[in-house]
């Protein structure tokens, strides 16, 4: 039982730090230092310096700032406008009409962003005014946008998958490819919900009078061609074994710069803003990862992860029961922490349990991302809710209630990925050449 008390102690100290407003990275360093001073005889300073340097110098991490920068560049282009113009002619006649633009627009931008909040902001800045102009129900509009924005964490290139891959030492390329089919499945579930809801509430849905010929649809779709080519070049190069995740990220940045140049949105000011935005985000993530690496080491020195894994094993939980417990745990944790922080804070303890239970770590990464996606739309700390609150000028509670059906669909997606693990594992197994 000592491992349980030790776990409670560490969690209590961590919650104290977080509750007093201390940064996540510093909180993890503080907990690690206290743990090592109280329960080990190891030199804290030397251990911290060595571990944090090793984490910071990981080659796999170089993909992270590059993908973040690519998203920042494209955020400042006419991409949101092009997404709406290119998708709306094809979707306007479907049940649910232009609400589908929220879902497919988020799915497309997710494939070049890796960030949930950036996805919501980019798609929302065009779709919210356009859909309001056409009198779509406010709860339907904002709920689907908040939920669809979570695709930014799952569809590659995903920042959180990079962090997970570095933390558990798994192939980032394989993780990226593993997220493709589950991301499509989740987007498909969202679209089915939109169709079902709109048929059920036909009376309050606007009547779409716009009509497009096939040639007009094709012409409008031409605006999406550069973005689609960029997506295929980044993801395709990884899948074909031509490039590592880092090399694909470099290709993505170059493509984003070229795209923004031809759209005449690449100015000295926009370039500097994109670079500064990417630097701030990357530094924040790197600091959290540095704290996480020290926490992982401190946990290892105390013997807590292994002892806890042994304790869990004595409970004789079935693999499915373990996943149920973890799902509930991450849903609760997601109410107070963003997805990245939730992953890095817990993997030191969770990883040994998962490996001992015999789960594939690539599959578990996809499962974990779907679960922490829920954190983006759960109050009081839901990043997508904060973004939409500022953009739509609506109460956070209203947006959270509107997004609740999509939260339930994410739970359904978790069940589907558990029942059919091949959805996440089939594409990585078919990669021409696995690359780290």
Residues 38-95: tens digit of each pLDDT? 877 778 888 888 887 776 666 667 777 888 888 788 777 777 677 778 888 888 778 8
Q: Cis bond leading into 157, ω under 30°?
A: yes
pLDDT value for 172: 87
Task: Return d(Cα 10, Cα 54) in angstroms, integer.
Answer: 24
Residues of the chain with pLDDT under 70: 1-4, 7, 18, 55-60, 80, 114, 208-210, 304-313, 336-338, 380-381, 432-436
Residue 382 phi/psi, 5-degree rounding, is -125, 110
Tell me the C-alpha to C-alpha distance, in Å, between residue 331 and each of 11, 201, 238, 379.
16, 30, 32, 11
Instruction: Judge residue 304's burial from the number of C-beta atoms within 10 Å of its C-beta, 0-12 exposed, 13-18 middle, 19 or more buried.
Output: buried
pLDDT value for 106: 86
Rounded to a whole number of angstroms, the distance between the first and last alpha carbons of the chain is 39
Instruction: Judge residue 306's burial from the number of C-beta atoms within 10 Å of its C-beta, 0-12 exposed, 13-18 middle, 19 or more buried.
Output: middle
Task: Return d(Cα 121, Cα 141) in angstroms, integer.
Answer: 14
pLDDT value for 209: 63
pLDDT value for 435: 45
Task: Write out the two tokens for 259.
Answer: 């795209």
Task: Write out the two tokens for 23.
Answer: 């940064």
Cβ 44 vs Cβ 37: under 8 Å: yes
pTM above 0.85, yes or no: no
Task: Return d(Cα 189, Cα 321) in angstroms, integer.
Answer: 25
pLDDT value for 127: 84
Residue 395 phi/psi, 5-degree rounding, is -65, 140
pLDDT value for 36: 84
pLDDT value for 80: 67
Backbone dihedral region for residue 97 (phi beyond 0: left; psi -120 to 50: alpha; all else: beta): left
Provide the 10 A C-beta neighbour count for residue 100. Answer: 24
Cβ 154 vs Cβ 410: under 8 Å: no
Task: Return d(Cα 174, Cα 181) in angstroms, integer.
Answer: 13
Cβ 98 vs Cβ 88: under 8 Å: yes
Tell me the C-alpha to C-alpha distance, in Å, between residue 230 and each of 210, 217, 233, 337.
30, 21, 5, 32
Backbone dihedral region for residue 241 (phi beyond 0: left; psi -120 to 50: alpha; all else: beta): left
pLDDT value for 434: 44
């Amino acid at each position: 039982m000592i491992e349980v008390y030790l776990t409670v102690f560490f969690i209590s100290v961590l919650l104290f730090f977080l509750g007093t407003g201390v940064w996540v990275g510093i909180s993890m360093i503080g907990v690690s230092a206290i743990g090592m001073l109280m329960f080990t005889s190891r030199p804290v300073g030397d251990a911290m310096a060595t571990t944090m340097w090793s984490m910071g110098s990981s080659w796999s991490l170089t993909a992270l700032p590059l993908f973040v920068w690519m998203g920042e560049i494209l955020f400042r282009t006419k991409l949101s406008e092009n997404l709406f113009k290119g998708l709306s002619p094809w979707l306007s006649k479907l049940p649910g009409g232009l609400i589908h633009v929220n879902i497919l627009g988020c799915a497309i931008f997710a494939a070049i962003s890796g960030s949930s909040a950036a996805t919501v902001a980019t798609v929302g800045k065009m779709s919210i005014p356009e859909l309001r102009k056409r009198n779509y129900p406010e709860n339907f509009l904002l709920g689907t946008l908040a939920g669809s924005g979570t695709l930014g964490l799952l569809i590659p290139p995903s920042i959180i998958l990079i962090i997970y891959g570095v933390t558990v030492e798994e192939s980032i390329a394989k993780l990226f490819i593993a997220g493709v089919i589950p991301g499509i499945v989740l987007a498909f579930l969202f679209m089915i919900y939109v169709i079902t809801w709109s048929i059920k509430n036909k009376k309050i849905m606007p009547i779409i009078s716009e009509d497009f010929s096939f040639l007009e649809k094709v012409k409008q779709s031409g605006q999406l061609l550069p973005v689609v080519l960029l997506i295929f070049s980044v993801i395709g190069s990884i899948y074909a074994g031509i490039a590592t995740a880092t090399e694909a990220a470099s290709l993505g940045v170059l493509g984003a710069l070229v795209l923004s140049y031809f759209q005449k949105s690449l100015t000295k000011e926009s370039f500097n803003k994109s670079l500064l935005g990417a630097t701030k985000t990357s530094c924040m993530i790197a600091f959290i990862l540095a704290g996480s690496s020290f926490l992982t080491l401190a946990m290892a020195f105390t013997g807590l992860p292994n002892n806890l894994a042994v304790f869990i094993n004595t409970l004789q939980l079935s693999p499915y029961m373990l996943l149920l417990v973890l799902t509930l745990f991450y849903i609760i944790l997601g109410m107070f922490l963003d997805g990245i922080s939730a992953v890095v804070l817990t993997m030191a303890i969770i990883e040994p349990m998962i490996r001992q239970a015999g789960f594939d770590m690539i599959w578990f990464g996809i499962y974990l991302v779907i679960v922490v996606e829920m954190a983006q739309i759960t109050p009081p700390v839901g990043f997508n809710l904060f973004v939409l609150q500022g953009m739509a000028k609506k109460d956070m509670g209203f947006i959270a209630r509107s997004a609740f059906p999509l939260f339930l669909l994410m739970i359904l997606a978790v069940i589907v990925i558990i029942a059919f693990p091949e959805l996440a594992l089939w594409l990585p197994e078919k990669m021409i050449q696995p690359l780290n």
